Amino acid sequence: MRNPLPILSVSTALALLGACTVGPDYAGPPAVVSAPSDGQAGFVRADEATPTGEPALARWWEALGDPVLNDLQQRALAGSPDIAMAQARLRDARAAVGISKAEGMPSISAMGVAATIRIPDLGGDEDGQGETGGESDSGTSSTNFYNLGLNGSWEIDLFGGRRRHNEAARAELNAAEASMADAQVSLTSAVAQAYLQFRDRQQRTALAEQAIAKNAGRLELQRQRYERGTGTQIEVDREQAALSDAQRQLSALRAEGEGFANALAVLTGQMPGAVDTLLAEGRDIPLPPADVAVGDPAALIQRRPDIRVAERKLAAETARIGEAQAARFPRLSFMGILGIGGTEPKDLTHLDDFTAIAAPMLQWNFLDFGKGKAQVSQAEAKRDVAEASYRATVLSALRDVEDALGNFRSSREAVAHLARAEASAARIEQLTRQRYELGAGALPELLRAELDHNAAQSRLDAARAELTINFIALQKALGLGWFGEEG
């Protein structure tokens, strides 16, 4: 019998190499921006002051104080197909982690065999019995074989390829979780924007209906003046054109309102028209809070979901470099077989007569004509792509925040200017009505003042809606915190 010590010594030495893990260790994402030197975070106020502030976490839409919007958001998070797809991808990533862990563990399987073997008779007995004891027929012999047993195998992770694979799978799971949060941010912002657009069209539709009535009154007065000879056809045509334009605007506003209502239904995972009853009652356009916390760029990078997705993908691609490098080195695996059986079914009951095999196996594909090296280079290139993608995502996010902040400030200024203009138009209408009631003013003059006030109200409503929409865009740019699958 050969001395097994040399084989065991080699196997033991190779097993000790299992502590080795090749490939680069992930040291975190590259630095793209740094926190402000003064340590203060951004903060938007009506008076443009910038005290320190930290952004609120999750459910940012509740700051608008609109129960209908809150209801729509809950429906969307529960029924949106986009969220369902993100949840399915998350489950897939979790299953991939489980598969990766299981693949690194020993594998044991049961086996049962019942076979008849026919082979040429290469020198059996003269009476027709072969050496195997089977029956001979025209120069062949046959035998039966029955076996029950267990097969086991286990590959030792000598150079950490399996560990790097597990590391990549966990990073992909983290990326799927962040993608889930990103889908929630995108969905809730889309719902809020569609809701604001609908409320804007709803209010402006009511104002447009009032404008049509006033334009119709002015047209009738001009027709009467023309019939009495105190007016001209040009004045009648001018009022007719104004009435037609108001009617055109009303039709467009109604169509746009219906479109946003249908969009809300689809965003909540329902058929178009499903939320019409919920939206039927008119409500004022919700306005953002007076103070909006922003935070600093470093906090943004930690908080925004799409940045977390890019960072986790970079971690996964870094781990795959080690996985590709480990594939170039020798692989050590162990195979074992334990079974009972023989040429008769009764042999399966002889538990004391069994076959056992244990064999280590070393494999090394050292001549692959550069394939392994190319695979490492490919993995490194993918890591570089992921790093560039991460940098681009961070820079794009910072630009989104800066653009959203600028638009939000501009919207606040526009609302302030239009509010003053609307107040002036309201005073003009009031004074003109007083003059008319005292007999010092004409009805056409009063109708014109009412139309001017109506137009100022419509512009102010549109500006308020734009202000809140820009607030929503700012919240999306900030990617405010999400926890778990429910957001």
Residue-level pLDDT at 203: 93
Question: pLDDT by residue (tens digit) across 42-85?
Answer: 433 333 333 334 455 578 888 899 999 999 999 999 999 988 99
The SS3 of residue 336 is strand
Question: pLDDT by residue (tens digit) across 17-44?
Answer: 555 788 888 888 888 765 444 444 443 3
Residue-level pLDDT at 376: 92
Mean pLDDT for the chain overall? 82
- In this prediction, residues 135-150 reach a mean pLDDT of 71
Residue-level pLDDT at 123: 58
Query: Measured in whole angstroms, how far is the alpha carbon of residue 84 from the centre of its chain?
Result: 11
Q: What is the dotted CATH code of the domain comprising 52-116+146-478?
A: 1.20.1600.10
Q: How confident is the model at residue 342 (pLDDT cuts 50, 70, 90)?
A: confident
In degrees, rounded to 5, the angle at the alpha carbon of residue 345 between the alpha carbons of residues 341 and 350 is 50
Distance CA(471)–CA(439), nearest Å, equals: 48
What residue ranges do the domains of the chain occupy? 52-116+146-478
Distance CA(459)–CA(465), nearest Å, equals: 10
* Residue 181 CB-density burial (10 A; 0-12 exposed, 13-18 middle, 19+ buried): buried
Q: Under a CB-based contact definition with an 8 Å cutoff, are residues 175 and 312 in contact?
A: yes
pLDDT at 167 over 80: yes
- What percent of the chain stands above pLDDT 90? 42
Distance CA(192)–CA(293), nearest Å, equals: 19
Q: How confident is the model at residue 6 (pLDDT cuts 50, 70, 90)?
A: very low
pLDDT at 216 over 70: yes
A 10 A CB-CB count for 365 gives: 12
- In this prediction, residues 225-249 reach a mean pLDDT of 90
**Sequential DSSP letters for 272-323:** TTTTHHHHHS--PPP---S-EEEE-HHHHHHH-HHHHHHHHHHHHHHHHHHH
Nearest to 276 by CA among 91, 72, 135: 72
Question: pLDDT by residue (tens digit) across 412-460?
Answer: 999 999 999 999 999 999 999 998 888 888 888 999 999 999 999 999 9
In degrees, rounded to 5, the angle at the alpha carbon of residue 406 between the alpha carbons of residues 403 and 412 is 140
DSSP bridge pairs for 332: 156, 362
pLDDT at 246 over 70: yes
Residue-level pLDDT at 144: 81
In degrees, rounded to 5, the angle at the alpha carbon of residue 23 between the alpha carbons of residues 17 and 25 is 105
Q: How confident is the model at residue 481 (pLDDT cuts 50, 70, 90)?
A: low
**Sequential DSSP letters for 363-378:** E----STTHHHHHHHH
Distance CA(98)–CA(342), nearest Å, equals: 39
